[in-house]
Chains A and B, each alone.
Chain A
Amino acid sequence: GENVEQHPSTLSVQEGDSAVIKCTYSDSASNYFPWYKQELGKRPQLIIDIRSNVGEKKDQRIAVTLNKTAKHFSLHITETQPEDSAVYFCAARVMNYGGSQGNLIFGKGTKLSVKP
C-alpha cells in the first residue's frame, strides 16, 4: 500500500520568512496530493492540492510543487505570519476519472511555528 513520509516534523521560522515542508510517496499510481492545515483543537482543512498532471500550483502565499519521477512533493509558504502556525499534513491518493477514489494516506505532520 501507499506510504507517505513527511519532513521535518517541526519547523520554526521568523515572521516574514519562507517555510518549506517536503513529502515523499511510494505508490506510483497515486495521482492526487492534497495539503491540510490543522489548527490547535480544530479539524484538518484543505489548503491546497495538486494533481499529477501539473508540476506546480500557487494560491497567494502558498504553493505546491510535484516531482512525479522522484515521487516527492513540497509545500511552500512565503511571507509567513503568526496565523500560519499550525500542524500541516500532506497526503496521497489514487483518483480515478470515473469518480471512484482510493484510500487517502497522510504523512505524520509538520508542526510549524511562526515567531513574531
Chain B
Amino acid sequence: DGGITQSPKYLFRKEGQNVTLSCEQNLNHDAMYWYRQDPGQGLRLIYYSQIVNDFQKGDIAEGYSVSREKKESFPLTVTSAQKNPTAFYLCASSKYREAFFGQGTRLTVV
C-alpha cells in the first residue's frame, strides 16, 4: 500500500523533553515537508527537504530539527527550546505537482 505514514497519531510530552515524530513515504518522492497546524493559523512550514542530506528552514523552524538521511524518511524532532509545542503536525511529500499528506500527529505537552 503506497503512501505517506506518520507515527504516532497521538504523542504526549513532558516539559523539557525532546520528542521525535516519524514520517515515512514509499512514493519515491524527492521533496518532503513538515507543517504545523494550529486553529486559525493554517499550515505553517517548519522545514522542507528537496533531496537527501539537504533541508531548509521554513517560517517557524525555531525549536525544531530534522534529518534526511534516506529518501523515504524525514523525522522531525521537537526540542525543549520550542516554547509552545502543543499542535497538530503534518508531514507531506511531493514529486512534481501534488503534495500528499500523512494523517498527522497530535502532540500535547503535559
Residues of chain A touching chain B, judged by Cβ–Cβ distance below 8 Å, are 1, 6, 9, 32, 34, 43-46, 49, 89, 95, 99-101, 103-109
Contacts and interface: CB of A to CB of B under 8 A. Distances in A.
Contacts of A95: 96-97
Contact of B31 (A43, A45, A101): A101
Given A95-B96, A99-B30, A104-B48, A44 B101 contact: yes
A107 B48 contact: no
Contact of B45 (A89, A101, A104): A104
**Residue from A9, A32, A44, A107 whose CB has the most chain B CB atoms within 10 Å:** A44
Contacts, number: 60
The 10 closest A-B pairs by CB, nearest first: A108-B42, A43-B101, A106-B43, A46-B98, A109-B42, A103-B48, A101-B31, A44-B101, A106-B42, A43-B103
B66 to A, nearest CB: 13
A71 B43 CA distance: 20
A89 B104 CA distance: 16
A101 B41 CA distance: 24
Given A101-B94, A103-B58, A106-B35, A34 B30 contact: no
